[in-house]
Amino acid sequence: LKLQTMNLDEPLDVIPPERCDHPLWPEVERVTMDQLYYARLEVEDTPSSGGGNWELFAQDGELRLYKRELEIDGLVCDPLKAVHTVKGVTAHEVCHQFFSPDVRFDWENTLDSMKVVENINPNTLVFHQIHKRVWPAAQRDTVFWSHIRKIDADTLRTKCHPNSTGKKLPYNVWIVCNNSVDRPDVDRGGCLRMRLVVSMCCEMTIDPPVDDDAQITRDHLRCRIIYCSKINPGGWAPASVLRALYKREYPKFMKRFSQYCIDVYKDKPIML
Ligand code: 16C
């Protein structure tokens, strides 16, 4: 039985991904695990392990945003890492809202249009998005696969944090990974095609701890959101406009999206 024909009501975390025979699947596996590792490296970790060299550019309460300046062929491609801690929501809930096409327009304000162009399996979709035009640059579009998964405790212990063994393990971790895919068949409609690698990694802790999951209420939930992005604008865009734009827009996005998740779930049963 192929995943494409499976019941969409099946909980996402019990779908064995290795059963997928889509040609993109090995890339989905590899990039998602790489992004999980990259996201969970602390900003102070050494450059040789993939961390370090981050420059704090915005801070507001628990929210911190870091950038690295990078230009490729004269285009600004600065990697971004944003870290936020929010209360009252689970890692699963936050990732579900970030992944689900049904609610994309409820929190995403960079879009003119969004379409699911392929359904790889219930936890992996291919999106085509046309973003709002930013003057004076040309309008951009993106085509990317988006994958959501729960990271089990064994994977966390053995693969994810070889250099921070003393650290308390989260109750669970969920990740959504978005990665550009070559799809010349998807009409650009006159846009320049941007390339991106984006991840939202959520680590959840129960604070204070409980003896039994049945005792968990929303007051116990702490969700650490690590949002990473690497975007190549794909063609001419003035560096100063681009840097001013992301410095203003990423903090707004992190605050808007996390508040949106809190509001959606505040009176709903907990989705662990
Ligand atoms: O991750 C986010 N959303 C996901 C679901 O939609 C998905 C999409 C990511 C693409 C976001 C890029 C939007 C750019 C719009 C216009 C670019 C015009 C360039 C010309 C400017 C002179 O993963 C949440 C996304 C939150 C976005 C915050 C706003 C960022 C603005 C700057 C983006 C360009 C960075 C380029 C490299 C430094």
Degrees (nearest 5) of the Cα angle 111, 116, 120? Answer: 140
Q: Report d(CA 187, CA 92) in Å as an integer.
A: 33
Q: What are phi and psi of 221, to 5 degrees?
A: -90, 130
Average pLDDT of adjacent 10-residue blocks, the chain of 272 residues? 36 59 96 96 75 91 98 97 98 98 98 98 97 97 98 79 64 97 97 98 96 96 98 97 98 98 98 96
3-class SS at 259?
helix
Nearest to 144 by CA among 179, 101, 94, 173: 179
Which tokens go with 256?
A: 């808007």
Instruction: Determine contact, residues 152/171, Cβ cutoff 8 Å.
Output: no
Closest CA to ligand 1's atom 23: 198
**Alpha carbon of 60 to ligand 1 centroid (Å):** 21
- pLDDT for position 50: 61
Tell me if 9 is assigned to some domain: no
Quick one: pLDDT at residue 156? 83
pLDDT at residue 169 in the model: 87
Ligand 1 centre from 233 Cα, in Å?
Answer: 9
pLDDT value for 155: 82
Could you identify the residue written with the tokens 């209420």? Answer: 217
* Helix-helix angle 91-99:239-265, to 10 degrees: 120
CATH code for position 141: 3.30.530.20
**What is the pLDDT at residue 12?**
52
Pocket probe mutation, ligand 1, options 70, 112, 146, 231, max atoms within 8 Å of Cβ: 231
Pocket of ligand 1 (CB under 6 A): 76-78, 108, 110, 129, 131, 134, 137, 140, 142, 178, 196, 198, 231, 233, 237-238, 241-242, 245-246, 249-250, 253
Closest atom of ligand 1 to CA, residue 178: 23
| Total domain count, the chain | 1
User: What is the DSSP secondary-structure string of 90-156?
Assistant: -HHHHHHHHH-GGGHHHH--SEEEEEEEEEEETTEEEEEEEEPP-TTSPPEEEEEEEEEEEEPHHHI
**Continuous segment of H or E residues that includes residue 271:** none
Closest CA to 123 of 143, 150, 149: 149
Q: Which amino acid type is present at position 197?
A: V
How much is the pLDDT for 1?
29
Q: Is residue 129 part of a domain?
A: yes
Residue 272 has which token pair? Answer: 């662990």
State the residue range of the domain holding 203: 54-265
151 lies in some domain = yes
Is residue 16, in this structure, part of any structural domain at all?
no
Residue 102 resides in a domain = yes
The answer to whether position 11 is within a domain reads: no
Q: What does DSSP say about strands 140-151 and 192-193: parallel, antiparallel, or unpaired?
A: parallel
Is 224 contained in some domain? yes
Q: What's residue 262's pLDDT?
A: 98
Domain assignment present for 155:
yes
Instruction: Determine the distance separating the centroid of ligand 1 and the alpha carbon of 110, expressed in angstroms.
Output: 7
Nearest-atom index, ligand 1, CA of 136: 22
Ligand 1 pocket test, pick from 70, 99, 229 with the greatest ligand atom count within 8 Å of Cβ, gives: 229
Selection from 64, 65, 35 nearest residue 197 by Cα: 35
pTM value is 0.93
